């Protein structure tokens, strides 16, 4: 029954027993670019994630998506989410400030502006595939793909599901991004 399954992308969901310890793997410091909204739950999550990663020896840059632009760690860098050149400029600036970007985390709170975020992520993916060493891309949603057994505090979100679906396409089309 496994004939023909040697290639392709698969989603594997697993649950470990709570009593099993989670191994901590020490990895060399990497450069992370966290992209989030300037306020709200994605900003709070980026802040928490950034502090945790820094405590593990990782280097962090935070880019906040604004109306008509992105601000990178106190520096103003205008990024039109509908412009592929702006996505490439963001990556170039982040790389110039911290060195080669190893991981890009897009924390999505899509709401009514889902189409502009989907377009922005698409251009970000295109910009990420240009370097010789592609950074790993992480797309974080809430309610985009519900998993059995998780808290029911997260409601299904059709806009997040669209981004989750785009992530699945990126997995197949751009395997170097390890999305």
Distance set, CA 71 to CA 25, 34, 35 (Å): 32, 12, 10
pLDDT reported for residue 51: 94
- pLDDT score recorded for residue 49: 93
Q: How far is CA 41 from the centre of its chain?
A: 15
pLDDT, residue 78, reads 47
| Residue 54, pLDDT score | 92
pLDDT < 50: residue spans in the chain: 73, 75-78
Q: Whole-angstrom Cα distance, residue 130 to residue 96?
A: 16
List, as one string, the DSSP characters of the chain: --TT-SSS---------TTSPPPPPP----EEEEEE-SSSHHHHHHHHHHHHHHHTT-EEEEEEEETTEEEETTEEE---TT-HHHHHHHHHHHHHHHSS--EEEEE---GGGHHHHHHHHHHHHHHHTSSSSPPEEEEE-SSSS--TTS-TTSPP-HHHHHHHHHHHHHHHH-GGG--
How far is 63 from 95, CA to CA, in rounded Å?
12
The pLDDT of residue 103: 92
């Amino acid at each position: 029954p496994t004939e023909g399954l040697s290639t392709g992308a698969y989603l594997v969901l697993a649950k470990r027993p709570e009593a099993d310890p989670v191994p901590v793997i020490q990895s060399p410091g990497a450069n992370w670019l966290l992209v989030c909204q300037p306020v709200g739950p994605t900003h709070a999550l980026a802040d928490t994630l950034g502090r945790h990663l820094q405590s593990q020896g990782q280097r962090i840059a935070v880019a906040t998506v604004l109306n008509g632009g992105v601000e990178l760690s106190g520096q103003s860098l205008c990024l039109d989410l509908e412009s592929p050149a702006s996505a490439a400029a963001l990556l170039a600036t982040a790389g110039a400030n911290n060195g080669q970007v190893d991981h890009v985390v897009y924390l999505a709170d899509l709401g009514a502006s889902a189409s502009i975020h989907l377009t922005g992520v698409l251009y970000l993916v295109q910009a990420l595939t240009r370097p010789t060493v592609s950074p790993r891309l992480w797309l974080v949603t809430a309610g985009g793909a519900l998993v059995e057994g998780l808290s029911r505090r997260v409601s299904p979100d059709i806009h997040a599901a669209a981004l989750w679906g785009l992530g699945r396409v990126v997995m197949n089309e751009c395997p170097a991004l390890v999305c």
